[in-house]
Structure 1
Amino acid sequence: MEELIAYILRFGNLNPQQIELIKSKATEIELRKDDYLSEAGKIPRQVGFVLEGVVRFCYYNNKGEEITDYFIDESHFATDYQNFEAGMASSEYIQAITDCRLLIFSKKNWDELLNTIIGWDKIVIKIVQKCLIEKIERRSPLVSEDATSRYLSFIQKFPTLANRVPLSQIASYLGITQQSLSRIRKNIR
């Protein structure tokens, strides 16, 4: 819980009562590897904050291939926030890659925080903006770099993920085949 509060306080100030209210609205859950926090075709019903583990956002392309869009590890929010707020069905899955512990806010509890804590909406906007910028920064190099450079950038930016995430999902994230990734890894050792 302290990880969540420390993260939120980076984006704004809260008094002790507001912090206690936030804590009271969060529920800790565990996801087993391969379980889903949110599924495509369904309306996201919760905001998650990763305490332990790694989740990924993924979808299926028009060829039926599973594509990993990005990874979320500890001390970050994991939610399809746009569809959560709009009450619309998601086009992506949020899946646990490892066993995970998360703090979860239901839509009802999240809305209570928005309606009760003055300035909570501004904090949330700053968090959402930071998440969007991080997503763009993670994806932008994948467009302009060759496969080896993409992998080297990935392990430089996310050194702890390389050993925690299946190669097939890293390859999908990088936009290459698993065989190509294996060759690249072999050549850079």
Structure 2
Amino acid sequence: MEDLINYLLQFGQLNGQQITLVKSKVKIIHLNKGDYFSEAGKIARQVAFVSEGILHVCYYNNKGMEITRYFIDEHNFAVDLNSFSSQIFSSEYIQAIMPCRLIVFSTEGLKELSLTIAGWDAIINQITTKSLIEKVNRISPMLAEDASSRYRNFLDRFPVLANRIPLSFLASYLGITQSSLSRIRRNF
């Protein structure tokens, strides 16, 4: 729980009473490898802070192939923001690719924090902005790179992540086949 509080304090001030309130509005859940935190076709009604583990955000294309959009590792929030904010059906899945420990806020809990803690919305807005910028910075450079460059840049930006995720998910994220990724890895 302290990892969540320390993360929040990077974006604003919270006094002891407010921290106690935040802690009272979350629950801890554990996901096994393959479990879903959020699923396509459902409305996202909770936000998770990843305390341990890695999630991947994916969708299925028109050929039924699973495509990984990105990964969410420790000390980051996980939510289908469009579904959560607009209360519309999600188009993507958020799935554990290893055992995960998540600290979860419900919609109601977040609303109560927003109404009770002055400055809560500013903290959440800063976190959301940071996350969206990171997401754009992850995706944009990949559009113009070849497969080897995408892999090299992934290793540069996420050196710890590369050894923690299955090759099939990494290949999907990079937009290449698993056999192509194996060839590229051999050349490194």
TM-fit CA distance, 1:161: 1.2
TM-fit CA distance, 1:78: 0.7
Tell me how far 1:75 sits from its aligned partner.
Answer: 0.7
The correspondence of residues 71-150 of structure 1 with structure 2, limited to 5 A, is 71-150=71-150
Question: 1:10 Cα shift?
Answer: 1.0
Shift of 1:85: 2.0
Instruction: Compute the displacement of 1:154 (Å).
Output: 0.6
Aligned to 1:157: 157
Q: TM-score scaled by structure 2?
A: 0.97
Mapped to 1, the partners of 2:78 and 2:31 lie a distance apart of 13
Post-superposition offset of 1:81:
2.1
Indicate the SS of the match to 1:41: coil
Count of equivalent residues: 188
Tell me which residue corresponds to 1:9.
9
Identity over aligned pairs, percent: 61
CA distance in 2 between counterparts of 1:115 and 1:80 reads 22
Instruction: Look up the SS of the partner of 2:176 in the other structure.
Output: coil
Task: For residue 75 of structure 1, give the secondary structure of its aligned residue in structure 2.
Answer: coil
Q: How does 1:20-35 map to 2 (within 5 A)?
A: 20-35=20-35
AA aligned opposite 2:98:
T
- How far did 1:86 drift? 1.6
Q: Alignment RMSD, CA only?
A: 0.9
1:27-83 deviation line (CA, Å, top 9, x unaligned) = 111000000000000001110000000001000112221100000000110111231
Deviation above 6 Å: which 4+ runs of structure 1?
none
Work out the CA distance in 1 between the residues paired with 2:16 and 2:85: 27
Structure 1 residues 145-164: Cα deviation after superposition (integer angstroms, max 9, x where no partner): 11101101111111111111
Task: Determine if the alignment matches structure 1 residue 45 to structure 2 residue 48.
Answer: no
Q: Secondary structure at the match of 2:29?
A: strand
Paired residue secondary structure (2:71): strand
Task: Tell me the equivalent position of 2:57.
Answer: 57
Gaps of 5+ in 2: none
Normalising by structure 1, we get a TM-score of 0.97
SS at 2:163 equivalent: coil
Q: Secondary structure at the match of 2:187?
A: helix
Output the CA distance in 2 between the equivalents of 1:133 and 1:7: 17
Alignment gaps of 5+ in structure 1: none
Task: Find out whether 1:173 has 2:170 as its counterpart.
Answer: no
SS of aligned partner of 1:64: coil
